[in-house]
Amino acid sequence: MDKQIREVVLSLELQSDLESIFNYGHETFGLRAAESFLADLIFRVESLAFNYELYPECVHLKTQARNYRNFFIGSYLVVYRITEHRIEVLRAFHSSRSINAVKSSKKLRLSL
């Protein structure tokens, strides 16, 4: 059975996270490393269109529908929500962030 390909939508918060991740990487590791890491992260996010069930349920955002998932890339936890028609990529958290910051992702609502 073929799985439905879904639109991937980025929250404004995630867009801000990506900018911060790039800036930190650029300052810490240099331009090429920052560009490479960001390209890898964006590739993984875009691949959610057809691989959205590949990653585990987010243990910090458990629901009956099991629609919150996450994946790690480097030291970052990327949280996304599976809806009926699309994948909503909510945030990218550094592993040093508190669990409460991750839990706040559940409150994010993306416009249609």
pLDDT, one tens digit per residue, over 64-109 is 878 999 999 999 999 999 999 999 999 999 988 766 666 677 677 7
Work out whether the CA dihedral 13, 65, 47, 92 comes out positive or negative: positive
pLDDT, one tens digit per residue, over 18-74 is 999 999 999 999 999 999 999 999 999 999 999 999 999 998 888 887 899 999 999
Name the pTM for this structure.
Answer: 0.85
Which of left, alpha, beta for 3 (phi over 0: left; psi -120 to 50: alpha)? beta
**In the predicted structure, residue 5 carries a pLDDT above the cut 90:** yes
Which residues, 6 or more positions from 30, have their beta carbon under 8 angstroms from its beta carbon?
A: none
